[in-house]
Structure 1
Amino acid sequence: CIYVNKQVNTGPNLDRQKVLQLPDHLGPARPSVVLQQAVQGCIDSAFQQKAVFTLLTEGYGGEKISATFDGKQHLLSLPVVNSVGYVLRFLKKLCRSLLCENLFSDQPIAPSSSPSSSSSFHAEKHLDGQMKSTSMVDDYHADSAELKRYSVDPGDFGPMSSPYGASKAAYGFRSSSVYSGALCRQATSPSAFPEANRSAYSPSSEGAELKPPSSKDPSRWSVEEVVWFIKDADPQALGPHVELFRKHEIDGDALLLLKSDMIMKYLGLKLGPALKLCYHIDKLKQNKF
């Protein structure tokens, strides 16, 4: 279960009366469902639902949340999560952006506890060892020093940090303005989920020296040779995304099959980098055939 601390300072973005109407706890249920209930609760409690919705980016395969603003209903998928620890980290960073910290806890909230002394997010001490490396969120803004410490949460697709020092977000938080009534206050968006954006490859594969492809036929390239090609083709635009090709085990044959819509949907690249990648793939095909 995740417990709702209704004694906290709800800040400028959440309506205290609506927060008081939230259930005392969420779950027991699957972590993905608990995450959906908590995020939807924040949206429903906001003075302006857009304030919460615009802090989130599209996930893959998780539960859906909705918000109504600008005269329309907007839907968004959250990432798939398999641990309460990850749910708590996600909510901690969301609430920090909303200036309403300690709203959620993994411990029951004592009636006499104050917002400053409430126990929240104790799962951090249990998280080490819980997260297991798998294939496939988000994620996102992870520096290369941390890359070897955490593994990816199942279902996560986030682009990786890279030696180029740039990072992209497929899942997590967008840098966004946080709304308060008619005023718009710029909030610092947290670096979202370093634990959700680790390569499923072992650290040794990350640190290995890359070598140019041994064959001129791209269909015979290994995953590491594809990674070398991506880095060499456009270090600035494509270099930050090379870990995705390791993570999804994209060898030469798979590289030649990639299309722009697949690249954007499954690898999380934006349109610009996706088109640049397609350009380099087309050049490979011309040389091959």
Structure 2
Amino acid sequence: MSANKPLTLVRPFLDRDTETWSYVVYDREGGSAAVVDAVLDYDAASGRTSTAGAEEIVAFVRDKNLKVEWILETHAHADHLSAAPFIREQLGGKIAIGDQICQVQKIFREVFNLEKQFLVDGSQFDHLFGDGETFQIGDLQARVIYVPGHTPADMAWQIGDALFVGDTLFMPDVGSARCDFPGGDAATLYRSVQKLLALPEDTRMFMCHDYPPSGEREHQCETTVGDQKRNNIHLHEGVSEAEFVAMRHKRDATLPMPRLIIPSIQVNIRAGQMPPAEDNGTVYLKVPINAL
């Protein structure tokens, strides 16, 4: 790669409990970096949190002497709590998400009947990015690609020659993300994916999750646009929108809700912050009955 286009360096981190991939993306040792989709450990039985996984990211960044400029979220995750505030506290940087997060906040403010002080303007985040917006991470140019469908607010981050797709796509042998969450839409996801598959075939594509077929392989995080176009079991070349929508509707009807959706959404629409403590000084997360 030419000097004008530095190679994007990517260090993945796997949270095995939620099968989530987080990333440190950087231009060079001693250079600038972004952290993508950091995970806060959460024990559902006890309600206890831990930063053990996020501390591995912090240690790597410090070892490489990197300066974190951005802490990026691909969307408001429904399967893990974000560790973005911890990363910012330890390493600096701005927490950012797509500007359509306001749609998701409006939906779930009603679902959880959140406090009147909860704002649905995205102001909990340090920065909201719009579709097509560009920004720098040191020597690396980054571009924002709006990819709704899984939720109304998903963004993919194209950073140099690397593309972080969130929950739009999984590894080719796993397929695509569900579209039955509030505000999700299978036809919209199909169109979003076509934007990603129109990128150069050698574009490296990094997953937010991997759910390996049982016993067949270890967790993986990286593929290419070309591999997805040829081999994705749900969205390879030749699959029509109508075929995909029919498959997705049938499949989604069989899927249970994610194990951590109730705590995750309440925290992640707040940019990873917990709800305000109640008058006894304790923080609580709500469980809506028969609502999801």
TM-score, normalised via structure 1 length: 0.24
Where is the helix percentage greater, Structure 1 or Structure 2?
Answer: 1
Larger radius of gyration: 1
TM-score, normalised via structure 2 length: 0.24
Where is the strand percentage greater, Structure 1 or Structure 2?
Answer: 2
